[in-house]
Chains A and B, each alone.
Chain A
Amino acid sequence: MHRLILAFALLLGLTPAVSAQTLQDILQTHADEVAKPGRRTVGVVLDDLAASGLPGVAVFLEKWQDKSVWQRDDGQFFIAAEQADTLQLTDIDSGEETSAAKDTFTQLKPNGGVRRVIATALVQFQLMDPDVERRTTAVASIARRPDASQLGPLLGAIDGETDAALKARKIQLANFLSASFAENTEDRIAAINSLSTDTSVEARAVLNQILTTSPGLATSLPTDQNVAGVLTPGEDMTRDEAYRLLVEAELAAPRTPPDVIRAALEANVVDGRVGNIPVAQLGSTANRERAYAQLAAVGTVAPLVTQSDRNAAIDEFIFFETYDEEDKAITQAAAAALGAVENRVAAGQTIDLALDALSLASIYFLAAIGLAITFGVMRVINMAHGEFIMMGAYTGYVVQLFVPSYTASIIIALPLAFAVTFGAGVVMERLVIRHLYHRPLETLLATFGISIALQQLAKNIFGTQARPLTSPEWLDGALVFSDVVQISYIRIAIFVLALIFLGLILYVLKRTRLGLEVRAVTQNPGMAASMGINPDRINMLTFGLGSGIAGIAGVAIGLYAKVTSEMGADYIVQSFMTVVVGGVGNVWGTLAGASLIGFLQKGIEWLNPSNTLAAQTYMILFIILFIQFRPKGIVALKGRAAAD
Chain B
Amino acid sequence: MPRSGLSWQKPPAARRQHHCCGAARITRTCPNKGQRDTDTGIIVSMTKKSFSAAIGAALLASTSMVAAQDCADPIKVGVLHSLSGSMAISETTLKDAMLMLVEQQNAAGGLLGCEIEAVVVDPASDWPLFAEKARELLTVSEVDVIFGNWTSVSRKSVLPVIEELNGLLFYPVQYEGEESSKNVFYTGAAPNQQAIPATDYFLEELGVEKFALLGTDYVYPRTTNNILESYLKDKGIAEEDIFVNYTPFGHSDWATIVADVVALGEDGKQVGVISTINGDANIGFYKELAAAGVSADDIPVVAFSVGEEELSGLDTSNLVGHLAAWNYFQSAESEANEEFIAAWKAFAGEDRVTNDPMEAHYIGFNMWVNAVEAAGTTDVDAVRSAMYGQEFPNLTGGTAVMLPNHHLAKPVLIGEIQADGQFDIISQTSEVPGDAWTDFLPESAVLTSDWKDLGCGMYNTETETCVQLTSNY
A and B touch in the complex (CB under 8 A): yes
Name the A residues within 8 Å of B268 (CB-CB): 204-206, 208-209
Contact yes or no, A564 B280, CB < 8 A: yes
Residue of B250, B290, B318 with most chain A CB atoms under a 10 A cut-off: B250
Segment from A224-232, A307-315, A411-419, A461-469 that makes contact with B: A461-469
Instruction: Out of A111, A356, A483, name the residue touching B205 (CB < 8 Å).
Output: A111
Contact yes or no, A616 B248, CB < 8 A: yes
Contact yes or no, B84 A459, CB < 8 A: yes
Residues A471-524 near B (CB distance < 8 A) = 476-478, 480, 483-484, 486-491
19 A-B residue pairings within 8 Å (CB atoms): A109-B424, A112-B296, A113-B205, A116-B206, A116-B297, A140-B297, A464-B92, A465-B309, A466-B89, A466-B313, A468-B313, A476-B290, A562-B283, A562-B284, A562-B313, A562-B314, A564-B89, A566-B250, A610-B245
Q: Whole-angstrom distance from the CB of A195 to the nearest CB of chain B? A: 12
Contact yes or no, B266 A201, CB < 8 A: yes
Name the B residues within 8 Å of A467 (CB-CB): 313
B246 at the interface (CB under 8 A from A): yes
Instruction: Out of B86, B259, B315, B426, name the residue touching A468 (CB < 8 Å).
Output: B315
Q: Which 4 A-B pairs have CB atoms at the shortest separation, nearest pair first?
A: A205-B268, A466-B313, A488-B291, A561-B252
Residues 406-439 of chain B: 1 if any A CB is under 8 Å from the residue's CB, otherwise 0? 0000000010100000001111000000000000
**Assembled-state Cα–Cα distance A602/B268 (Å):** 27
Name the B residues within 8 Å of A539 (CB-CB): none
Name the A residues within 8 Å of B108 (CB-CB): none
Instruction: Out of B205, B207, B247, B291, name the residue touching A612 (CB < 8 Å).
Output: B247
Given contacts A359-B255, A480-B293, 20 further A-B contacts (CB under 8 A): A39-B204, A39-B206, A109-B424, A112-B206, A112-B321, A113-B206, A345-B266, A463-B92, A465-B309, A476-B290, A477-B291, A477-B293, A557-B252, A564-B89, A570-B252, A609-B256, A610-B243, A610-B244, A612-B245, A613-B247
- Contacts known (A111-B205, A144-B298); A609 close to B284, Cβ less than 8 A: no
Contact yes or no, A612 B313, CB < 8 A: no
Name the B residues within 8 Å of A488 (CB-CB): 255, 288, 291-292
A438 at the interface (CB under 8 A from B): no
Chain B residue with Cβ nearest A566: B86
**Assembled-state Cα–Cα distance A144/B290 (Å):** 19
Name the B residues within 8 Å of A110 (CB-CB): 426
Name the A residues within 8 Å of B263 (CB-CB): 201, 484
Contact yes or no, A560 B284, CB < 8 A: yes
Instruction: Out of B246, B251, B266, name the residue touching A204 (CB < 8 Å).
Output: B266
Chain A residue with Cβ nearest B313: A466
Name the A residues within 8 Å of B427 (CB-CB): 111
B260 at the interface (CB under 8 A from A): yes
Chain B residue with Cβ nearest A360: B253
Residue of A38, A212, A352, A612 with most chain B CB atoms under a 10 A cut-off: A612
Contact yes or no, B416 A112, CB < 8 A: yes
Contact yes or no, B284 A612, CB < 8 A: no
Name the B residues within 8 Å of A356 (CB-CB): 253, 255-256, 259
A residues with CB within 8 A of B: 38-40, 67, 109-116, 140, 144, 201, 204-206, 208-209, 212, 345, 352-353, 356, 359-360, 363, 456, 459, 463-468, 470, 476-478, 480, 483-484, 486-491, 557, 560-564, 566, 570, 602, 605-606, 609-613, 616
Contact yes or no, A613 B217, CB < 8 A: yes
Residue of B205, B207, B256 with most chain A CB atoms under a 10 A cut-off: B256
B345 at the interface (CB under 8 A from A): no
Residues 243-282 of chain B: 1 if any A CB is under 8 Å from the residue's CB, otherwise 0? 1111110111101110110110111110000000000100
Name the A residues within 8 Å of B133 (CB-CB): none
Contact yes or no, A456 B297, CB < 8 A: no
B residues with CB within 8 A of A: 84, 86, 88-89, 92, 201, 204-207, 217, 243-248, 250-253, 255-257, 259-260, 262-263, 265-269, 280, 283-284, 287-288, 290-293, 296-298, 300, 309-310, 312-315, 318, 321, 323, 414, 416, 424-427
Contact yes or no, B297 A468, CB < 8 A: no
Name the A residues within 8 Å of B287 (CB-CB): 490, 560-561
Instruction: Out of A204, A468, A562, name the residue touching B267 (CB < 8 Å).
Output: A204
Contact yes or no, B288 A205, CB < 8 A: no
Residue of A39, A466, A616 with most chain B CB atoms under a 10 A cut-off: A466
Name the B residues within 8 Å of A613 (CB-CB): 217, 246-248
**Assembled-state Cα–Cα distance A464/B86 (Å):** 8
Chain A residue with Cβ nearest B267: A208
Contact yes or no, A612 B257, CB < 8 A: yes
**Assembled-state Cα–Cα distance A563/B243 (Å):** 29
Name the B residues within 8 Å of A610 (CB-CB): 243-246
Contact yes or no, B256 A602, CB < 8 A: yes
Contact yes or no, B248 A40, CB < 8 A: no
Q: Whole-angstrom distance from the CB of A174 to the nearest CB of chain B? A: 17
Q: Whole-angstrom distance from the CB of A365 to the nearest CB of chain B? A: 14
**Assembled-state Cα–Cα distance A606/B206 (Å):** 30
Name the B residues within 8 Å of A109 (CB-CB): 424-426
**Assembled-state Cα–Cα distance A89/B364 (Å):** 42
Contact yes or no, B266 A205, CB < 8 A: yes
Name the A residues within 8 Å of B424 (CB-CB): 67, 109
Contact yes or no, B252 A562, CB < 8 A: yes
**Assembled-state Cα–Cα distance A340/B23 (Å):** 79
Instruction: Out of B89, B206, B297, name the residue touching A464 (CB < 8 Å).
Output: B89
Residue of B310, B425, B426 with most chain A CB atoms under a 10 A cut-off: B426
Q: Whole-angstrom distance from the CB of A377 to the nearest CB of chain B? A: 28
Name the B residues within 8 Å of A560 (CB-CB): 252, 284, 287
Name the A residues within 8 Å of B314 (CB-CB): 466, 468, 470, 562
**Assembled-state Cα–Cα distance A501/B10 (Å):** 69
Contact yes or no, A464 B248, CB < 8 A: no
**Assembled-state Cα–Cα distance A205/B217 (Å):** 31
Name the B residues within 8 Å of A209 (CB-CB): 267-268
Name the B residues within 8 Å of A470 (CB-CB): 314-315
Name the A residues within 8 Å of B288 (CB-CB): 488
Contact yes or no, A114 B205, CB < 8 A: yes
Name the B residues within 8 Å of A464 (CB-CB): 88-89, 92
Contact yes or no, B248 A612, CB < 8 A: yes
Q: Whole-angstrom distance from the CB of A232 to the nearest CB of chain B? A: 18
Contact yes or no, B251 A466, CB < 8 A: no
Residue of B246, B248, B414 with most chain A CB atoms under a 10 A cut-off: B248
Q: Whole-angstrom distance from the CB of A331 to the nearest CB of chain B? A: 15
Name the B residues within 8 Å of A204 (CB-CB): 266-268
Q: Whole-angstrom distance from the CB of B279 to the nearest CB of chain A? A: 8
Contact yes or no, B265 A201, CB < 8 A: yes
Residue of A111, A116, A489 with most chain B CB atoms under a 10 A cut-off: A111
- Contacts known (A613-B217, A616-B248); A111 close to B426, Cβ less than 8 A: yes
Chain B residue with Cβ nearest A144: B297
Residue of A352, A465, A564 with most chain B CB atoms under a 10 A cut-off: A465
Q: Whole-angstrom distance from the CB of B17 to the nearest CB of chain A? A: 39
**Assembled-state Cα–Cα distance A467/B318 (Å):** 17
Residue of B250, B257, B291 with most chain A CB atoms under a 10 A cut-off: B291
Instruction: Out of B204, B267, B283, B300, name the residue touching A205 (CB < 8 Å).
Output: B267
**Assembled-state Cα–Cα distance A463/B312 (Å):** 12
- Contacts known (A201-B265, A208-B268); A561 close to B284, Cβ less than 8 A: yes
Name the A residues within 8 Å of B259 (CB-CB): 352, 356, 484, 486
Name the B residues within 8 Å of A605 (CB-CB): 256
Name the A residues within 8 Å of B296 (CB-CB): 112
**Assembled-state Cα–Cα distance A274/B295 (Å):** 63
Name the B residues within 8 Å of A112 (CB-CB): 205-206, 296-297, 300, 321, 323, 416, 426
**Assembled-state Cα–Cα distance A562/B284 (Å):** 6
Contact yes or no, B204 A40, CB < 8 A: yes
Name the B residues within 8 Å of A570 (CB-CB): 250, 252
Contact yes or no, A490 B88, CB < 8 A: no
